[in-house]
Structure 1
Amino acid sequence: MFTGIIENLGRVADLKKEAENLHITITSNLASELQIDQSVSHNGVCLTVVEISDNNYTVTAIQETLIKTNLGELQIGDVVNLERAMQLGARLDGHIVQGHVDQTATCTAITEQDGSWMFTFDYDKTKNNVTIEKGSITVDGVSLTVVNSKHHSFSVAIIPYTYEHTRFQHYKVGDTVNLEFDVIGKYVARLMGKN
């Protein structure tokens, strides 16, 4: 379980394909604080630490994860949003994030707005996921508030702190991001027969 508040940016140091799995080695100053078998969110995807060495650690993504997320597009040197699992009793500054990506989206617009930025994302509406105005959405692991909610798209306003401390500073129009829709909204949609 995560909060969607990014702790650190990591950098992809190595990628090794083994059968259908991808072993991803990340360089991060969080590595020294990790333990084998811990869960860490990588661009919103919960993965298990399987190896640690100095400032590097390795996680493994299975084929299903590579198909459903943007992790299969990673290249050596890419920046990744990182968050360790939440601790019970700590503040929940974002919202409840499971680390289970629902689908990907494409960045369709980036507009600078006098000190902040508006990012717009388009997603496949046939998967029956929904956003609501002022509801929560997780984009590459970042907990955000939805604005301009539509049937297949939404926007998020990004303040300078978030822009500087997450992957948002690297996004370009056409980039693929991971989406996790609000878990409470998913339960409500299921109860209402929408999913």
Structure 2
Amino acid sequence: MFSGIVFDLAKVKSVRSKGGLKILEIRLNKNIKNPEKGMSIAVNGVCLTASLIKNAREFHADVTAETMKKSTLSEIRAGSPVNVEFPVQPHGFLSGHIVQGHVDCTGIIKDVKKENGNVIITAGYPQEFARYIIEKGSVCVDGISLTAFDVKKNAFSVSVIPETLNSTGVKFYKNGSKVNLEFDIIGKYIERQLKADNGEIK
């Protein structure tokens, strides 16, 4: 489980294919704490498994065909900046919100503008996911926990403070940029329970 608080804006060192997988070699600017092969790591909001830990700042992660189909990782190239987060520890703070690293869909940046020192990002998304996002609710954009406002059936906006802008890939967003979106898991469980109560799930 993650929280949507980015640990580091890292860089993809290399990308190669092997047996249907895309293998990302990622280099961090900070040391990994207690690195272990097989640990979960969120890359642009996608939960991946570290297949190799080279050192305290470099690791490999394998991306399956299904993950590439559902996320923007299919477009990752050597030199691409990526948001990286490590799992929440049981004794730590949950500073953002509950994030699984299971991308629901991709969205498209529709507008980027500065306002009162912050940056307002508007993203479009498939209308079928509208039931999972609410005004002032949490949404995960490329692994970043943000608060949605001006929510419409196929678009929403978020306000990004300077700290988040400077320490994540948001600084590279422009109109037409593609982003990974994960909606709040709590709403999904509630929806399923209601369907079960109504006899819609056998």
TM-score range, shorter chain: over 0.9
Distance 1:10 1:19 in 2: 26
Quote the offset at 1:127 in angstroms: 4.9
Structure 1 residue 80 and structure 2 residue 90: aligned? Answer: no
* Cα offsets for 1:68-95 (capped at 9, x unmatched): 0000101111100010000002111100
Aligned to 1:45: 46
Distance 1:146 1:130 in 2: 11
State the superposition RMSD in angstroms.
Answer: 1.7
TM-score if structure 2 supplies the norm length? 0.91
Q: Does the aligned pair in 2 maintain the 1:24–1:58 contact within 8 Å?
A: yes
Distance 1:118 1:32 in 2: 31
Aligned to 1:16: 16
Q: Does the aligned pair in 2 maintain the 1:31–1:52 contact within 8 Å?
A: no
> What does 1:145-184 correspond to in 2, within 5 Å?
145-184=147-186
Answer with 1 or 2: which has the greater Rg: 2
Task: Name structure 2 gaps, 5 residues minimum.
Answer: none
Distance 1:11 1:106 in 2: 22
Task: Name structure 1 gaps, 5 residues minimum.
Answer: none
* Cα offsets for 1:27-58 (capped at 9, x unmatched): 11445532111101000001011112233210
Distance 1:32 1:189 in 2: 37
Give the residue type in structure 1 aligned to 2:120.
M
Quote the offset at 1:185 in angstroms: 1.3
* Cα offsets for 1:86-119 (capped at 9, x unmatched): 0002111100001111110000000110310100
Q: Does the aligned pair in 2 maintain the 1:131–1:150 contact within 8 Å?
A: no
> What does 1:22-61 correspond to in 2, within 5 Å?
22-30=22-30, 32-33=32-33, 34-54=35-55, 55-61=57-63
Distance 1:190 1:151 in 2: 20
Distance 2:29 2:167 in 1: 14
Aligned to 1:93: 95
Number of aligned positions between the proteins: 195
Q: Does the aligned pair in 2 maintain the 1:31–1:57 contact within 8 Å?
A: no
Distance 2:149 2:47 in 1: 26
Identity %: 38
TM-score if structure 1 supplies the norm length? 0.94
